[in-house]
Amino acid sequence: MSRPLNRPLTLRDVSEASGVSEMTVSRVLRNRGDVSDATREKVLRAAKALGYVPNRIAGSLASQRVNLVAVIIPSMSNMVFPEVMTGINRVLEDTPLQPVVGITDYLPEKEEKVLYEMLSWRPSGIILAGVEHSDASRAMLRASGIPVVEIMDTDGTPVDAMVGISHRRAGREMGEAIVRAGYRRIGFMGTKMALDHRARKRFEGFTQALARAGIEVADQEFYSGGSALSKGRELTAAMMARSPDLDFLYYSNDLIGAGGLLWLLEQGYDIPGQIGLAGFNGVDLLHGLPRRLATMDACRDEIGRRAAEIIVARTADPVRAVERIVTLAPTIERGDTLRPL
Amino acid sequence: MSRPLNRPLTLRDVSEASGVSEMTVSRVLRNRGDVSDATREKVLRAAKALGYVPNRIAGSLASQRVNLVAVIIPSMSNMVFPEVMTGINRVLEDTPLQPVVGITDYLPEKEEKVLYEMLSWRPSGIILAGVEHSDASRAMLRASGIPVVEIMDTDGTPVDAMVGISHRRAGREMGEAIVRAGYRRIGFMGTKMALDHRARKRFEGFTQALARAGIEVADQEFYSGGSALSKGRELTAAMMARSPDLDFLYYSNDLIGAGGLLWLLEQGYDIPGQIGLAGFNGVDLLHGLPRRLATMDACRDEIGRRAAEIIVARTADPVRAVERIVTLAPTIERGDTLRPL
DNA sequence: CTGAAAGCGCTAACAC
DNA sequence: GTGTTAGCGCTTTCAG
């Protein structure tokens, strides 16, 4: 029972089946130019009957237009990125543009490779996460001659356009809020940050805010891999054993924060009196936990939307000036784990 | 400060810059055929200096080969699918094939549209979720003449190949395990299942297993949208208020199950003595909860891997016979919420 | 080992 | 409204 590996149909097949020239068939199928209703009917019928699917490879080569937008992100399992994708999708849905996703696994070399692959398809625009890229990547982006939007982070200089939040500032503001709420013995937990620039920047902003208040991070711990929730438990248990006098824990993401929260509640800690907690991201998931973790929205959906809008605007009219740098302002959600002022 | 919307480079540019014919430049860039080291050097140097990125549109048209694999899934925020993607990626990484993702939002019309779009790029293979598709979609798949692997679910007839688990059987087995553990007053909570065929099949298998034991589902509730964790709480609270005598709750996914678990623990229920719980999927997240929810692994990663392997095998050698139907066998993880036998 | 010619399937641009 | 012509940038094929 082998399937019929038959030659794919071409415009010519539809042309012959309908008795209309290839050119007119092409016009009908693309809704371009005036075609009489009679011919249109004939063509559509023939195309459907044959099951013709146009060949965009040929079409794109001929028209020098490719309605693809390359979206390059570090990971799909990080929750954050699917949400950014949702924002992008919503905007592109109303346009002829189609997103195509590439994954870098947070590896600069892989980013370079993926970018090269993507560019070889001559997309209409590129959206990529982060502002730190290899020299080769930057060169490719610049040479591509297409709109490029770097997203998530605005602490840096974009090749072209940029949409995101300042993670340094996000960390700083959370640090300030914590200090203002009266906490003094503060621990930090997060991913190993060698390649996670945004986590690093949040940490930098955070320590800076503490420093201004004359406080140092009392304890810290970094992890990699594994289920974030249980990591949060483990790290928290270990840190509280080591530094039982801590009165606040700042987590680099909500999931490990949630794990810590669950553990502390089980141990009978008084939250947020005895100890306060905060995470980062504002993930939806938190809404089902026993307490709402204090966090900061990363504006994921809006970042996706704004980035896509820039691509759309530039694609429609490459000349018109559009905002090049969009800095969104995340707000602190105090939840139930950050003492009220 | 407008960017240089310059003409993209072509092989010809590299040819002229290096003084080597276009044809030989092409050979060097694709590592095909024998080229002297001297020329190879010259070409590579020129290409890099110019920042040349080949045009795959033209290349694919000429060679009639496109190294893309279309992957069509309902959603990216469902956790399940990113994990399937991971499996697919791992296999394709070692090949020239590249996955391209399309999202259907569980809508048949959208699936049809996305499929059409994808096919218009003449991919080397298609992986798509589910076995229920519109007639038009099936027709397109059949006419495409390329390997098609339907994934997740094996309760149905594939167009070509199929990799997944039997959701009907999964539901049945969980039902049997619950009955065997001695539970009798059983409630069910899940998504509205009009378009989620897999959830529906699990439910069918589940009720069938209960029926065989002379039991009917004592209460049931369906939801849509919202944060799954808090939905789980709400649904559970409502159901326990309505049917306080339930001794088991079966959830159509782990996230709402986790929400229910948290709520029940807070209310002081004795789990699994007074009331037992089970979900579906085996999501990693559960490992950080106060109790491990009983669940059933959906084999997401393996499904992705096996599907990709089929595509790879068929692409390498369209004639060689490969398994057409791969039914994986998920096992029950009893966790801490299903009474031991 | 290298090059020249032909054409992949479609569309831009121009006739009629 | 509809058809004709000439490529798009590359690779296949064949000749040297």
Report how far residue A37's alpha carbon sits from residue B222's, in angstroms, rounded to the nearest whole number. Answer: 48
> b/e string for A288-320 if b means 16 or more Cβ within 10 A?
bbbbbbbbbbbbbbbbbbbbbbbbbbbbeeeee
Asked if the model's pLDDT at residue A4 lies above 60, the reply is: no
CB distance A86 to A143 below 8 Å: no
Shortest distance, CA B321 to any CA of chain A (angstroms): 9
B100 at A interface, C-beta within 8 A: yes
SS3 of chain A: helix, strand, coil, percent, to 5: 45, 15, 40
Residue B230 and residue B261 in contact, taking contact as beta carbons nearer than 8 Å: no
pTM to 2 decimals? Answer: 0.93
- Per-residue pLDDT of A299-333, as tens digits, reads 999 999 999 999 999 999 878 888 999 999 999 99
Tell me the pLDDT of chain A averaged across its residues.
94
What size, in residues, is chain B? 341
With contact defined as beta carbons under 8 Å apart, do A324 and A313 qualify? no
DSSP letter for A20, please: S
Distance, CA of A320 to C1' of C15, in Å: 35
Amino acid at A178: I
Task: Note whether A111 and A131 are within 8 A (CB).
Answer: no
Q: For chain D, which bases have at least one atom within 7 A of a protein Cβ?
A: 1-13
Min Cα distance A301 → chain B (Å) is 12
B272: preceding bond cis by omega (within 30 degrees) = yes
Other CB atoms within 10 A of residue A213 CB:
13
Residues of chain A contacting B335 with CB distance shorter than 8 Å: none
Top residue of A48, A57, A78, A162 to mutate, by most chain B CBs within 10 Å, is A57
Instruction: Quote the pLDDT of residue A285.
Output: 80
Is the pLDDT assigned to residue A19 strictly greater than 60? yes
Give mean pLDDT, residues B293-314.
96
In this prediction, residues A101-113 reach a mean pLDDT of: 95
> Does residue B1 have a pLDDT over 50?
no
Closest chain A C-alpha to B319 CA, distance in angstroms: 8
Task: Give the pLDDT confidence of B212-259 residue by residue, as tens digits.
Answer: 999 999 999 999 877 789 999 999 999 999 999 999 999 999 999 999
**Amino acid letter, A25:** V
Does the beta-carbon distance from A288 to B120 stay under 8 Å? no
Name, in order, each residue with C-beta under 8 angstroms of B337's C-beta and a sequence gap of 6 or more: B261, B271, B272, B276, B277, B278, B291, B292, B293, B294
Alpha carbons within 13 angstroms on the beta-carbon side of residue B40 total 11
Q: Do A76 and B76 touch (CB under 8 A)?
A: yes
- With cut-offs at 50, 70 and 90, classify the pLDDT of residue A3: very low
CB A201 within 8 A of CB A155: yes
Residues in chain A closer than 8 A to B66 (CB atoms):
57
A121 touches chain B (CB under 8 A): yes
Considering only the beta carbons, identify the residue of A89, A103, A145 that sits closest to B4: A145
Please give the pLDDT value at position B5. 47
Statement: residue A159 has pLDDT above 90: yes
Q: How far is CA B231 from CA A285, A335, B183, B249, B270, in A?
A: 10, 19, 24, 14, 21
Among candidate residues A75, A227, A232, A335, the one with its CA nearest the CA of residue B254 = A227
Render pLDDT for A179-235 as a digit per residue (tens, 0 to 9): 999 999 999 999 987 889 999 999 999 999 999 999 999 999 999 877 789 999 999
Closest in A82, A287, A288 to B76, CB measured: A82
Instruction: Mark yes or no for CB contact B288/A232 under 8 Å.
Output: yes
Q: Tell whether B329 lies on the interface with A, counting CB pairs under 8 A.
A: no
Does the pLDDT of residue B3 top 60, yes or no? Answer: no
Cα distance from N-terminal residue to C-terminal residue, chain B: 73
The answer to whether the Cα torsion of B84, B89, B94, B97 is positive or negative is positive
A126 close to B61: Cβ distance less than 8 angstroms: no
CB contact under 8 A, A57 and B66: yes
pLDDT above 90 covers a percentage of chain A that reads 88
Closest CA to B147 of B324, B304, B327, B311: B311
Provide, in whole angstroms, the distance separating residue B25's CA from nucleotide D11's C1': 12
Burial of A174 (0-12, 13-18, 19+ CB in 10 A): buried
User: For B261-296, how does the pLDDT look when each residue is reduced to its tens digit (9 = 90+)?
Assistant: 999 999 999 999 999 999 999 888 888 999 999 999
DSSP code of residue A82: H
Residue A32's φ and ψ, nearest 5 degrees, are -115, 140
Element (H, E) at A221: strand A219-223
Distances in Å between the alpha carbon of A318 and those of A158, B2, B99, B240, B319? 18, 9, 30, 59, 48
**Quick one: which of A316, A279, A317 has its CA closest to A298?**
A279
Amino acid at residue number A86: T
Pairing mode, strands B295-296 and B332-333? antiparallel
What is the tally of helices (H) and strands (E) in chain A?
A: 12, 12
Q: Which pLDDT belongs to residue B100?
A: 95
Nearest nucleotide from residue A27 CA, by C1' atom: C11
**Phi and psi at residue A324, in whole multiples of 5°?**
-95, -30
Considering only alpha carbons, which residue of chain A is nearest residue B139? A51
Q: Within 10 A of B297 (CB to CB), how many other CB atoms are there?
A: 19
Q: Does B140 touch chain A (CB under 8 A)?
A: yes
Mention every residue, 6+ apart, whose C-beta is less than 8 A from residue B270: none
Kindly state the percentage of chain B with pLDDT values over 90: 88
pLDDT digits (tens, 9 = 90+) for A232-279: 999 999 999 999 999 999 999 999 999 999 999 999 999 999 999 999
β-pairing, B148-153 vs B161-165, is parallel
Task: Find where tokens 């371009």 sit.
Answer: A32
Between the alpha carbon of residue A15 and those of residues A27, A53, A258, B221, B301, the distances in Å are 12, 13, 62, 54, 45
**Looking at residue B153, what is its pLDDT?**
97
Nearest nucleotide from residue A20 CA, by C1' atom: D2
- Token pair for A247: 């009165």
Written as six digits, the tokens of B341 are: 């036998």
Closest by Cα among A119, A80, A79 to A102? A119
Closest by CA to B147, choosing from B327, B331, B333, B322, is B322
Give the gap in angstroms from C-alpha B19 to the nearest C-alpha of chain A: 22
User: Does the pLDDT value for residue A1 go beyond 80?
Assistant: no
Q: How far is CA B102 from CA B105, B114, B319, in A?
A: 10, 6, 28
The torsion region of residue A282 among left (phi > 0), alpha (psi -120 to 50) and beta comes to: left
SS3 state at A262 = helix
What tens digit of pLDDT does each residue of B87-146 get? Answer: 999 999 999 999 999 999 999 999 999 999 999 999 999 999 999 999 999 999 998 999
Residue at the smallest CA–C1' distance to nucleotide C6:
B62
pLDDT at A20: 96
Count the alpha carbons within 13 Å of A221 in the hemisphere toward its beta carbon.
23
pLDDT computed for residue B284 by the predictor: 81
d(Cα B143, Cα A99) in Å, to the nearest integer?
A: 25
DSSP type of residue A258: H
| pLDDT at residue number B6 | 66
pLDDT of residue A6: 67
Q: Hey, is the C-beta of A67 within 8 angstroms of any chain B C-beta?
A: no
- What angle, rounded to 10 degrees, do the helices at B11-18 and B22-30 form? 110
Helix spans in chain A (H): 11-18, 22-30, 37-50, 56-63, 80-92, 108-119, 135-144, 167-180, 197-212, 228-242, 254-266, 300-316
User: Quick count: other Cβ atoms within 10 Å of Cβ B307?
Assistant: 31
Please judge whether B103 and A121 are an interchain contact, meaning their C-beta atoms are less than 8 angstroms apart: no
> For residue A16, is pLDDT > 90?
yes
- In angstroms, the CA B257 to CA B265 distance is 12
Chain C positions under 7 Å from a protein CB?
1-13
Contact with chain B for residue A231, Cβ under 8 A: yes
Report the C-alpha gap between A335 and B9 in whole angstroms.
Answer: 54
What tokens does B76 get?
């990216």
DSSP for B285-300 reads: GGGGSSSPPBEEB--H
| B4 near A CB under 8 A | yes
- Vertex B73, ends B233 and B123: CA angle to 5°? 170
Q: CB less than 7 Å from strand C: which protein residues? A: A 7-8, 10-12, 22-23, 26, 29-30, 32, 54-55, 58-59, 61-63, 65; B 20-21, 23-24, 27, 33-36, 38-39, 58, 61-62, 64
A30: chain B residues, CB-CB within 8 Å: none
Size of the A and B interface in Cβ pairs below 8 Å: 136
* The residue type at B273: G
